[in-house]
Structure 1
Amino acid sequence: MFEDGIVCRIARRFHVIKVATVLGAAAGLAGCGTPKTPDQLIAKGDKFEVTLGEYDQFLRQMPPVTKEAVAPMRRMLLQQLVNEKLLAEAAISAKMEDDPANSQAIAAAKRAILAQAYIRNLTGKLPKAEPREIEAYYNAHPALFSNRRRFIVEEYVLKSDMPDIRSYVDALTNGDFNTLAAVVSNKIPFLQPTTVARFTDELPDNRDMLDTLTVGSSIVYQSPGQLHLGRIQSVTLEPVPLEAATGKIERSLADDRVEQIAQAAVKTLRKSRNVEILNANLKQAVAEIPPKGPRS
């Protein structure tokens, strides 16, 4: 995360254009109209097999894709799963599970999976949001709905792990977009800016920053693995009526409720186990973390 002074912070949620999902895409893989069972084989070899259940699980880990990309994505993911399973079994045969770094990574993955499973168990039967709750949320977030704006942004997109990423941010925040363009031209001559449309809910959840954006404003925001540095070219008002926003609001309210339940569970577990941070520096850092509120 960057230091104070950058025009905006990392977005908690980066929304993309609604697209078709690959979840359940395996349904047509083994033939139409044939009943499927979790242990049905979809690939086999000498002491090797891949089941439909494994493939479904693999698909659930993948991000959404466009409708046109579903079929080629299914084929690619099946090949990837076969390759991954072959390599994993080879690693097990070579006793690589016993390597300390590998065993720690496996334990970390197991820990994360179980933690999420526990939260899902706690929140599996959440009541549906009442109409009054939906309307109250709508009225409390005008920037997302009744006063939603559409920004046309000219921007450079960089990998967020670039070692000299700070220099590009400084060029924009201490200068302007032309200053940034000169730096990019010198360091990455092949990189060209792109022009994109972003709605308010696709930008960082920072109302103070969003309210000040006008034509010519500089903007810095992040999406997974990428840093966007741009200049606002135009701003238009494109409100969303309550009826159209209902589904999104229901999901946001459910997410907020899950987060509240998770925080309450962790608080109870910490107290029951007498958890204490011993390292002084880390203890201070944890104490300075602001509490989370409802998400916009």
Structure 2
Amino acid sequence: MKTVLRAAFVAPVTALLLMSLGACSKGEKAAATQVAARVNGSEISVHQINFILQRSNVKPEQAKSASEQILTRLVDQDLTVQKAVDRKLDRNPEVVQQIEAAKREILSRAYLESVASAAVKPTDKEIADYFAAHPELFSARRIYTYRVLGIQAPADKVAVIQDMHAKGRSLEDIAQWAKGENLRMVGDGGTKTAEQMPMQSLPRLSQMKDGQVIIATGPAGAELVHLIQSRTEPVTLEQSKPIIERFLTTSRRSELVQKEMKLLRSAAKIEFKGDFAHMADSLQSAPVALPDASAPADASVGTK
């Protein structure tokens, strides 16, 4: 919880924004019952505390202590903001630029959130269809204990790795050979549930048998995955329903935001200058870099 609360106060610019956008000014006195504290005459309201509290995902039983932590931080924040204003730091060009950048981010996020809020809630049939289409995540869900060996290698060395794999050589043998060839290697492994594995590799992984090693190759080299062992731990449709609903809703929100950004790009007159002139032809196909307005909730699929 402390980590979450600290995240609400990461940058000094946030304090200035809260003061300019949400804090009570001397000319706007909050109702007495809504005042949580006064700092040199400047009021901190219960609404400010509740705003941060609601965004911190605090458990109900922790709300009181969390509110006190938030209020303490807001008092300290007010004290430093007042001193910053006294020293005219709010007029410092770098500070002004940070405030403007934060304001742009907040407004952009607010607009995208309004777009994403039009996402339609998935029906029970759509949830059931998704459940049926992904047995590797639900009805045939497995927990995997595995090892991964990635090897950076040119094409001729990749061919050797493929041959060694085809002949059933172990990961240790292949790693020893790669070490002798001075090839760079990266290892990984552990025990993970299906939903914790990369979605793009899960369909193939779900078809593997215990002890099996598979290989994937590319321009940069080869990657070998050894499934040491696994166990089946399925989940029911009823257990999965809220998670699938969140996932599908988040996906729809993201699709709406992506579509809106592409429409805005195509409808606007955008001119790139100087060193950025080459971007004019690639803008429409460029990835959309967005604040996370499309994911209001945990969108991971599976159980935790």
Q: What is the TM-score of this pair, normalised by structure 1?
A: 0.56
Would the alpha carbon gap of residues 232 and 38 (structure 1) be closer, same or farther in structure 2, given more than 3 Å must change? Answer: farther
* Match among 239, 252, 261 for residue 257 of structure 1: 252
- Tell me what 1:200 maps to: 194
Q: In structure 2, list runs of 5 or more residues that go unmatched.
A: 6-30, 148-183, 213-225, 290-298
Partner of 1:92, secondary structure, is: helix
**Distance in 2, Cα, partners of 1:39 & 1:267:** 47
- Tell me what 1:88 maps to: 81
Q: In structure 1, list runs of 5 or more residues that go unmatched.
A: 1-20, 23-36, 155-172, 179-194, 218-230
Displacement of 1:202 in angstroms is: 3.4
Partner of 2:78, secondary structure, is: helix
Question: What letter corresponds to residue 256 of structure 1 in structure 2?
Answer: S
Displacement of 1:60 in angstroms is: 3.5
Q: Contact 1:38/1:53 (CA < 8 Å) preserved in 2?
A: no
**Distance in 1, Cα, partners of 2:264 & 2:203:** 37
Q: Contact 2:136/2:203 (CA < 8 Å) preserved in 1?
A: no
Displacement of 1:101 in angstroms is: 2.1
- Tell me what 2:51 maps to: 57
- Tell me what 1:121 maps to: 114
Would the alpha carbon gap of residues 106 and 200 (structure 1) be closer, same or farther in structure 2, given more than 3 Å must change? Answer: farther
Displacement of 1:54 in angstroms is: 0.8
Question: What letter corresponds to residue 236 of structure 1 in structure 2?
Answer: R
Partner of 1:147, secondary structure, is: coil
Partner of 2:120, secondary structure, is: coil
- Larger relative contact order, structure 1 or 2 (CA cutoff 8 Å, min sep 6): 1
Cα deviation digits, residues 165-220 of structure 1 (max 9, x gap): xxxxxxxx826579xxxxxxxxxxxxxxxx9x743323444425982899899xxx
Question: Residue 266 in 1 paired to residue 261 in 2?
Answer: yes
Q: Contact 1:144/1:200 (CA < 8 Å) preserved in 2?
A: yes
Would the alpha carbon gap of residues 208 and 242 (structure 1) be closer, same or farther in structure 2, given more than 3 Å must change? Answer: closer
Question: Residue 105 in 1 paired to residue 98 in 2?
Answer: yes
- Tell me what 2:240 maps to: 245
**Distance in 2, Cα, partners of 1:122 & 1:249:** 21
Partner of 1:247, secondary structure, is: helix
- Tell me what 2:141 maps to: 148
- Tell me what 2:270 maps to: 275
**Distance in 2, Cα, partners of 1:245 & 1:81:** 40
Question: What letter corresponds to residue 88 of structure 1 in structure 2?
Answer: V
Query: What is the number of equivalent residue pairs in this alignment?
Result: 217
Would the alpha carbon gap of residues 84 and 235 (structure 1) be closer, same or farther in structure 2, given more than 3 Å must change? Answer: farther
- Tell me what 1:76 maps to: 69
Q: Contact 1:151/1:235 (CA < 8 Å) preserved in 2?
A: yes
Partner of 1:127, secondary structure, is: coil
**Distance in 1, Cα, partners of 2:203 & 2:33:** 52
- Tell me what 2:131 maps to: 138
Quote the RMSD (CA, aligned, Å): 4.5
Q: Contact 1:38/1:51 (CA < 8 Å) preserved in 2?
A: no
Cα deviation digits, residues 73-92 of structure 1 (max 9, x gap): 33322212221232223222
Q: Contact 2:122/2:245 (CA < 8 Å) preserved in 1?
A: yes
**Distance in 1, Cα, partners of 2:99 & 2:209:** 48
Percent identity between matched residues is 26
Displacement of 1:254 in angstroms is: 1.2
Partner of 1:246, secondary structure, is: helix
Question: What letter corresponds to residue 117 of structure 1 in structure 2?
Answer: A
**Distance in 2, Cα, partners of 1:93 & 1:233:** 64
Cα deviation digits, residues 234-288 of structure 1 (max 9, x gap): 6432222111111111111111111111112112211221225551576688688
- Tell me what 1:40 maps to: 34
Would the alpha carbon gap of residues 89 and 243 (structure 1) be closer, same or farther in structure 2, given more than 3 Å must change? Answer: same
Cα deviation digits, residues 48-86 of structure 1 (max 9, x gap): 221111112222443x45677555433322212221232
Would the alpha carbon gap of residues 107 and 284 (structure 1) be closer, same or farther in structure 2, given more than 3 Å must change? Answer: same
Would the alpha carbon gap of residues 119 and 290 (structure 1) be closer, same or farther in structure 2, given more than 3 Å must change? Answer: closer
**Distance in 2, Cα, partners of 1:256 & 1:121:** 15
Displacement of 1:97 in angstroms is: 2.0
Displacement of 1:133 in angstroms is: 1.4
Question: What letter corresponds to residue 91 of structure 1 in structure 2?
Answer: A
